[in-house]
């Protein structure tokens, strides 16, 4: 199976370990993983600000880079949500549609496509609060959101439960947004930071040592908030935990 690895700009620049873990994890399953070297971004920063035309050239580049793979996999719910739902500033050719349909977020790819049953190399003996990124949760159906009266399921927790030693703790507000919101974090800084402070305080009260999420951008925001408040919480991407990070 030929996989195109998409490493979002935040991961590329700030959390290279997340990209490395994603690559190694996919290779553990015997996949043929390629990293298109000229990749940049999915176009989300522009699109989420309403500037679709400004995103068109970036979207075209994305499709050019990621055509020809069986699947495109990225360790980010929000970027995959962008590609799947909002990569619409360019004409929807067969190539564009193919890329959009075959782009998967790492957790759902492991859970739904590979149907991973065991992660024998992974051990993470810590109290873990899982942070459900909003785009992954409500945009690409990672789990049953707390608002809906539907049968419970959670793909990321199913995977984390396969990691030896993980002890999950429950948040009082299990899937409240952490306030990152992309450009929102900059243009509405007071509310964004307050949401972040409340989120990390909830994690602390729940007794977590580590916060695990499938999105680096939320983690970066939360980590910044926790450090500002002096809370001893550690933040790590689910790709690293599933790949056997010792922490």
Partner 1 sequence: MSAEELHPREREGVVNPAVRAATDESERGQDGRRLDHAEGSSKPIKAPPVREPQPRGAKIRGDRPIDQAEAAERFLAAPLHAAAHDERLWDLRKKRDAAAFGIPEWEELRELASQIKTHTLSHLDLYLEQFEAAAKANGVHVHWARDGAEHNRIVLGILRDHGARTIVKSKSMLTEECGFRHFMAGEGIEIIETDLGERIQQLDDEEPSHIVAPAVHKTRLDVAEVFARTLGTDPDNDDAHYLAESQRETTRPHILAADAGMTGCNFAIAETGTVVTCTNEGNADLSGNVPKLQIHSIGIEKLIPRIEHLGVFIRLLSRSALGSPITQYTSHFRKPRTGSEMHYVLVDNGRAARLGMEEFWTSLKCIRCGACMNTCPVYRRSGGLSYGATYAGPIGLIIDPTFNKRKYSTLPFSSTMNGSCTNVCPVKINIHEQIFAWRKVLAEEHQIPLLKQGMMKAAGAVLARPAAYRAAIGAADSALKVLPRFAVYNPLNTWGKKREMPDAPRQSFHAWYKENRMKDGSK
Binders of partner 1 among 19-78, rule CB under 8 A? 19-20, 23, 34-35, 37-41, 43, 45-46, 48-58, 60-61
Distance CA 7, CA 36 (A): 10
Asked if residue 225 lies in contact with residue 193, where contact means CB atoms within 8 angstroms, the answer is yes
Angle of helix 94-102 versus helix 52-66 axis, rounded to 10: 80
Q: How far is the CB of 183 from partner 1 (least distance, A)?
A: 7
> Residue 141: helix, strand or coil by DSSP?
coil
Could you say whether residue 173 binds partner 1 (CB under 8 A)?
yes
3 state SS of 186: helix
**Of 92-100, 114-122, 154-162, 185-193, which segment contacts partner 1 by CB under 8 A?**
185-193
204 forms part of the interface with partner 1 (CB under 8 A): yes
User: What H or E segment, with its residue span, contains residue 202?
Assistant: helix 189-205
Is residue 130 part of the contact set for partner 1 (CB under 8 A)?
no
The reply to whether 186 sits near partner 1 by the rule CB under 8 A is yes
Q: Are 224 and 199 in contact (CB under 8 A)?
A: no
Q: Say if residues 217 and 179 touch (Cβ distance below 8 Å).
A: no
Closest CA to 130 of 156, 97, 158: 156
Quick one: tokens of 218?
């939320």
Q: With CB under 8 A as the contact rule, which of the stretches 93-101, 112-120, 194-202, 236-244 interacts with partner 1?
A: 194-202
Q: Is 174 in the site for partner 1 (CB under 8 A)?
A: no
The distance of closest approach from Cβ of residue 188 to partner 1 in the complex, given in angstroms and rounded to an integer, is 5
**Which of 192, 203, 240, 243 touches partner 1 by CB under 8 A?**
192
Can residue 3 be called a binding residue for partner 1 (CB under 8 A)? no
One residue of 77, 87, 102, 139 binding partner 1 per CB under 8 A:
139
Given candidates 76, 102, 154, 185, which one binds partner 1 under the rule CB under 8 A?
185
């Amino acid at each position: 199976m030929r996989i195109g690895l998409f490493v979002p700009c935040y991961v590329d620049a700030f959390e290279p370990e997340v990209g490395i873990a994603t690559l190694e994890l996919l290779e553990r399953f015997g996949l043929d993983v390629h990293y298109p070297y000229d990749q940049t971004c999915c176009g989300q920063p522009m699109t989420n600000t309403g500037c679709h035309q400004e995103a068109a050239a970036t979207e075209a580049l994305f499709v050019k880079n990621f055509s020809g793979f069986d699947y495109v996999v990225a360790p980010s719910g929000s970027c995959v949500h962008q590609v799947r739902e909002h990569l619409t500033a360019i004409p929807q050719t067969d190539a564009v549609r193919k890329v959009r349909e075959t782009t998967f977020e790492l957790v759902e790819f492991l859970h739904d496509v590979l149907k991973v049953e065991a992660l024998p190399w992974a051990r993470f003996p810590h109290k873990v609060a899982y942070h459900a990124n909003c785009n992954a949760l409500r945009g690409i159906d990672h789990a049953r959101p707390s608002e809906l009266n539907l049968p419970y399921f959670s793909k990321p927790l199913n995977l984390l439960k396969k990691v030896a030693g993980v002890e999950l703790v429950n948040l009082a507000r299990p899937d409240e947004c952490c306030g990152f919101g992309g450009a929102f974090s900059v243009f509405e800084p007071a509310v964004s930071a307050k949401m972040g402070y409340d989120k990390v305080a909830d994690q602390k009260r729940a007794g977590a040592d580590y916060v695990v999420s499938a999105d680096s951008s939320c983690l970066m925001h939360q980590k910044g908030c926790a450090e500002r408040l002096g809370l001893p919480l550690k933040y790590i991407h689910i790709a690293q935990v599933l790949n056997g990070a010792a922490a």
